[in-house]
Every structure is written in structure tokens, then in C-alpha cells.
Amino acid sequence: MRIKDFPEEELLLPGNAACQGCPSSMALRLALKALGRNTLLAVIASCTSVLQSPFPATAFDLPVLNMAFATGGATGSGLAAAVERLMKKGVYRERPTVLVWAGDGGTYDIGIQSLSGAAERNADFIYVCYNNEAYSNTGTQRSGATPYAAWTTNTVKGKREWRKDVAQIMVAHGIPYVATASLAYPTDLFEKFTRAKGIRGTRYIEILAPCPPGWKFPSGHTVKVARLAVQTGLWLLYEHREGITTYTAGTQRIIHGKARRLPVEEYLKAQGRFRHLFYPERDEERIAEIQRRVDRVFETLEFTHRLKQHIMDIEMLPPR
């Protein structure tokens, strides 16, 4: 897939209420390009509820259902059941894609039991968590997705806990498709949505969404920060299907030794929410702790890759 081949049709219209440089609108715009107009969108309370703009106009040119904070999984299940029924009645010529769109607060914290239940029933919808690593809409409070040492309004000296990993929790549910995506790799993101669309059952996609006002960087740097997250190894790009995880785009290039992994510092320094790690003096301990964690993850990933290559090489040898 090339950028040239992305559909021209816009389902997210300009002149909406999103902030300058908003990653949530960028993510939704690209996702809708991949999924197309035949989509039923359910938005869970978040910035996306607001950026649609107030009644009587909306910036979303497709059917939208605005739902309560904890209801992502249940909403998806209900819509999927309704679609099933309407398909039987012959109301649709083509099966619409059910897309549930929620933030990290709505996914990691308040929505996880509903999502887990829906995944266990393998309800037929795509669930997207656009992860801006905080409750952005209510002014940047910490969530279960906020990373270690990050400032939020209620972690003023930096969060003390490490974030949890909901994409891996979804992998553990054994659903047919789990993927992570980044705004800096739009073709990778587009292809993941296209693949998800072609699968039935619960599909989970998580997009890292660097939020300029929440993470404190200039609005022009949204994509740059998203790219640094991948280049430093702090955000992994992969998809998981039928028990197999495949690393993609920038993450794959690092694992395959085709790109150098950047020091985490470059990512941290680009954002005001980590400023206390550098000013008034460097907090070597916490920076090193973050680096060590990433190093350990990549040691395992690179080892596994080399081992696989090695086994493949042995299998290719002619029999003795």
C-alpha cells in the first residue's frame, strides 16, 4: 500500500473542535480511510466525543453513537448483534464494520471488564484504543497507560508506577487480531486496519497518540514524537494473529538490525512531561531505569530473531 493509493474521501471533516495537531483526529481520519464509509462508529467518552463538535453539526460524516465511559465492549457487542440481525433481514447489502473508538482511560481503566467480556465472547467488532497516555479531555490526569516518570496533573513529580500493557492482555484473550500502530507509520497503520476489516470476531488495535497539550510539546511535533517512541523502542509495532506475533515497520527494522535503536533520552527530551528528568538537574537514575527496561525487551526480541534465523539456516542445509 502506498500513500498515493489511500482513498481520497474524507469522513472526518475540517473545521472541527480538535486541538491543533491533535493525534486523535489524525488517527481516526486514517482509520476511516482504511475502513471506508460502510462503518458504524461508536465513540466512548473521551476527547473524540468533543472533537466531533456540538449539536446540530458534526465533523463525522458517518453514523456515530456516543456512549458512556465504561461501555466500549458492551456497545461493540450490542452493535454487532444488531448488525447480525439486520443482515438476516436483508437491510444491508454489505456488512458494515462496527468500530468502537475509545481512549486509554476508557480502555485501560474504566472499560477493561466490558472489553474483556466482549473479547471472551469474540463479539464481532474492531475496538480501537487511541492511547494518549492520560485522561486528556478532563485536563491530563494519570491513567493505567501513563508511562513511568511522566508528569500529569496528579503525578506532578512523575508517575511512580510502570504502565500496564493492554495489547498483551488482549493477546492473552486469544482473539483473532491484535495490533499496535503509530501515527508516524501511516502505511503500516492503514494496512493493519485493512487486515482487521477482513477478519470476523473481536479485533483490538492500539494507536499511540502523542497529545501536544497533554505531553507538552509543540503542535507540529505530533508525528515526530510518535516516530521517536518507535525509534527508541518505547512503543513496539506488531500484529498478533493465530498465535504468532509479527513485528512491523520501525520496530522490525530495529530487531532485524537494519536500524539503530535511539537512546530513550531523545524521546523523553522532546516532551515537557518529562522535563523534571532533565531540569533543574539530570535524574540519571530514572533515565537509566527506563533505558534498562527497553534494553531488556530488545535483548529478548533480538535473541529470538537470531535464533529463528539460525534454525532456518540449519534447516536449509542439505541432508548429510
Which is nearer to ligand TPP, 28 or 255 (by Cβ)?
28
Phi, psi of 34 (to 5 degrees): -75, -40
**Binding track over 221-250 against other proteins, x by CB under 8 A:** xxxx--------------------------
Q: Answer whether 238's CB lies under 8 Å from 170's CB.
A: no
Specify the DSSP element, H or E, that contains 267. Answer: helix 264-269
C-alpha cell at 293: 527496561
Q: Answer whether 65's CB lies under 8 Å from 88's CB.
A: no
Q: Does 103 bind Mg ion (CB under 5 A)?
A: yes
Phi, psi of 218 (to 5 degrees): -65, 145
138 makes contact, choosing from other proteins, Mg ion, ligand TPP, none, with CB < 5 to 8 Å by partner type, with ligand TPP
Report which of 221, 226, 237, 232 is spatially closest to residue 287, judged by C-alpha positions: 232
C-alpha cell at 299: 535483548
Q: Does 10 bind other proteins (CB under 8 A)?
A: yes
Residue choice 34, 42, 43, 59 for contact with other proteins (CB under 8 A): 59
**Closest distance between Mg ion and the C-beta of residue 104, in Å?**
4
76 makes contact, choosing from Mg ion, ligand TPP, other proteins, none, with CB < 5 to 8 Å by partner type, with none
Q: Return d(Cα 75, Cα 70) in angstroms, integer.
A: 10
Which is nearer to other proteins, 168 or 219 (by Cβ)?
219
12 makes contact, choosing from other proteins, Mg ion, ligand TPP, none, with CB < 5 to 8 Å by partner type, with other proteins
Residue choice 25, 52, 132, 222 for contact with Mg ion (CB under 5 A): 132
Q: Does 6 bind other proteins (CB under 8 A)?
A: yes
Which is nearer to Mg ion, 59 or 110 (by Cβ)?
110
Question: Where does this chain touch other proteins (CB under 8 A) — which range of 68-76, 91-99, 103-111, 290-298?
Answer: 91-99
Q: Does 250 bind Mg ion (CB under 5 A)?
A: no
Q: Return d(Cα 251, Cα 137) in angstroms, integer.
A: 30
Report which of 188, 166, 187 is spatially closest to residue 178, judged by C-alpha positions: 166
**Contact footprint for ligand TPP (CB under 6 A):** 24, 45-47, 69, 103-106, 132, 134-138, 143
Residue choice 186, 214, 233, 250 for contact with other proteins (CB under 8 A): 186
Which is nearer to ligand TPP, 28 or 301 (by Cβ)?
28
Residues 6 or more apart whose Cβ sits within 8 Å of residue 128: 27, 31, 99, 100, 101, 102, 204, 205, 206, 207
**Closest distance between ligand TPP and the C-beta of residue 243, in Å?**
30
Exposed, middle or buried, 65 (CB in 10 Å: 0-12/13-18/19+)? middle
**Closest distance between ligand TPP and the C-beta of residue 42, in Å?**
14
Phi, psi of 216 (to 5 degrees): 65, 65
**Closest distance between Mg ion and the C-beta of residue 24, in Å?**
8
Residue recorded with cell 507509520: 185
Report which of 41, 35, 127 is spatially closest to residue 83, judged by C-alpha positions: 41
Q: Answer whether 76's CB lies under 8 Å from 125's CB.
A: yes
**Chain position whose Cβ is nearest to ligand TPP:** 103
Which is nearer to ligand TPP, 129 or 290 (by Cβ)?
129
Strand partners, 244: 241
For other proteins, the binding residues (CB under 8 A) are 3-4, 6, 8, 10, 12-18, 20-23, 25-26, 29-30, 37-40, 52-63, 91-94, 96, 183, 186, 212, 218-224
For Mg ion, the binding residues (CB under 5 A) are 103-104, 132, 136
